[in-house]
Structure 1
Amino acid sequence: MGILDDARVATRLPAQDLERARRFYSEKLDLEPIDERPGGLLYRCGGSDFALFQSAGASPGTFTQMGWEVDDIEAVTAELKRRGVVFEEVDLPGLRTVDGIADIEGNYPSKGATGERGGWFRDSEGNMIGVGQPVR
């Protein structure tokens, strides 16, 4: 057994403007912090926590920093777009989005699935966030 096998994983996302980030997560994602401290906001989704922390550094936003697994990606994507969230459009060999959603074969994050349907957007701080639905 490894030293971290029973440890909980918690995502931390940098925010140059914590109040701007709070508004984005509230207005666009319908999330409210469960706790807040000077320089940080703590959120809980589906039994897991993630935190936004005040940072002078900025995220490059070039890779997925956090993602949600959802049951209906089309409904979630449509609602987020209605709220003003802008999804990335990607057209690369082996990865192409249509209306913000890509069909991905054998994507690892989908446990016990043959692939995933996924989409990505940036939060107000430039963090790349993903949503995905396993394909079974």
Structure 2
Amino acid sequence: MARVNKMEFGRSGNNKEVTIDTPIALTDSNFEQALQKYPLLIVDFFAPWCGSCRMLVPTIEQMASEMAGKTVFGRLNVDENPRITSLFEVQSVPTVIIFRNGELLDGFRGVAPKAQIRSRIKSMIATIMSL
């Protein structure tokens, strides 16, 4: 489950934006809601038995913290969520897909050195933001 900053309330009672700084848990039942709620969503499709997926976790968690307020990262267990896995034709894990306003824009499969993954995700985000 995602760790989020507590919501703060101003004097007028208006709530301030909640910043999500860790990956959120995505499922078949909440995926569409997340696509609608978060304009820029980066999803890590993984399996618990996958060694490469486990290697990717620290990078995804660190980037979620660094990019809090700009984008939201999510993780979806492919073994427990076959509908979404099939919908996006995820054939291998790890697979990382970037969505903007609910639309699939870019992604990649497999694992690479941490610096390469960070660079690739940041490059994809920069390209998307310039559209």
Structure that is richer in strand per residue: 1
Structure that is richer in helix per residue: 2
| TM-score calculated relative to the size of structure 1 | 0.28
| TM-score calculated relative to the size of structure 2 | 0.29
Q: Larger Rg: 1 or 2?
A: 1
